[in-house]
Amino acid sequence: MTTIVLSGGGGTRLWPLSRQSIPKQYCNLLDGLTLFERTIKRNIKLSDNIIVVTNVAHFDIAKSQFRKVCPDKQVHFILEPCGRNTAPGIALACLELDPEENVLVVPSDHIILDEEAYQDAVNRALVAANLGYLVTFGLKPEYAETGFGYIEADGDEKTAGEGFLLVKAFKEKPDRATAEEYIAAGRYYWNSGIFSFLAGKYLYELGNTAPEILLASKKAWEAARKSISQNTEDVIAIPEEAMLSIPAESIDYAVMEKSQNVAVVPCSLGWSDLGSWDAIWKIRERSGLEALEGSSTISIESKRNLVVGSERIVALVDVEDLIVVDTPDALLISKRGSSQNVKRIVEQLKEKGKTHLL
């Protein structure tokens, strides 16, 4: 099996720690390994081949972090000069593989706490993939979340004995009432962004549902392969002009929502996409492994505060439920529960021309 690690995201919702130069997957968010390092360490146990798809600007840090956790393992890099979303990135990686190769596609900026459950879900996904399905991992919803897309499983559970269900539909992020209806129905799952299939099956389905993406991806891959001077056996850099010619689209919109051969593996993985500082708070609190306040924090009559990123003393006096993110050139102070609005800070920085802070 080959694991394709998607590592091109920007993570602006975790500003000011996550920046364009060092996106969230490469940041130390949980007092230990980065999310990228955790992803590699988790998946190297399951896979004999790793392909990392990342931006060329992040190649050095991705390579360094990979070597930190896997000094003796082989890794293959596909370097994108610009992001075109997940459907093309996965296609470029699949073009490197034998059509019959089992593929596991994973984001590098999520966390999974229950690795035993993860391994079980991967094994069940491989069964479905070898039967010809495009497989997505559906997380059993823990509450009526409005910030995630949902997967509706078919009511006919004829494949349940094999550990997977057929997919009836993909649903956009719902409002609160709709999310509660999904929870009550019991056949809806959070869309995790983790997938499994045969490499050739994905390219075949992409050719049916988004042929323009497949054609442009093939041309970009061929152009990269011809550019011997820029590439090695383990590193392929896609030319910028060729990359820009590929339509930008996610795997969900380009393939999964249009295909008639999609299955879902229901699972509970202790998962979070860590899409906000509030999500960082929740996963730290849930794991019980990392302190909410660092060693540089002095806390007096204060509680339930998250302090991240500081190398200087941060003193808290008689405050509760704050998020404090301290970096050398920017300081974020937010009330817990409001950190989704960090994206508005990023928008204002762009408007003010302060792009050096992004």
Domain ranges of the chain: 2-270, 277-357
pLDDT at position 48 is 81
At 233, is the pLDDT very low, low, confident or very high (cuts 50, 70, 90)? low
Q: Provide mean pLDDT across the span 100-126.
A: 96
206 versus 291: the higher-pLDDT residue is: 206
- The contacts found for 317-325 with CB under 8 angstroms, 24 or more apart, are 323/277, 323/278, 323/281, 325/16, 325/17, 325/277
Q: Provide mean pLDDT across the span 156-168.
A: 87
% pLDDT > 70, the chain: 96
Q: Is the pLDDT of residue 162 over 90?
A: no
Q: Provide mean pLDDT across the span 2-14.
A: 88
pLDDT at position 232 is 57
How open is the CA angle 191-196-201, to the nearest 5 degrees? 120
Q: Is the pLDDT of residue 286 over 80?
A: no
Q: Is the pLDDT of residue 314 over 70?
A: yes
Distance CA 309, CA 194 (A): 29
- Token pair for 157: 């559970």
pLDDT at position 340 is 85
At 230, is the pLDDT very low, low, confident or very high (cuts 50, 70, 90)? low
Burial of 81 (0-12, 13-18, 19+ CB in 10 A): middle
At 229, is the pLDDT very low, low, confident or very high (cuts 50, 70, 90)? low
Q: Is the pLDDT of residue 309 over 90?
A: no
pLDDT at position 234 is 87
Partners of 138 in the β-ladder = 191, 266
119 versus 281: the higher-pLDDT residue is: 119
Q: Does domain 2-270 have CATH number 2.60.200.20?
A: no
Q: What does pLDDT average to over the chain?
A: 91
Distance CA 340, CA 356 (A): 22
At 122, is the pLDDT very low, low, confident or very high (cuts 50, 70, 90)? very high
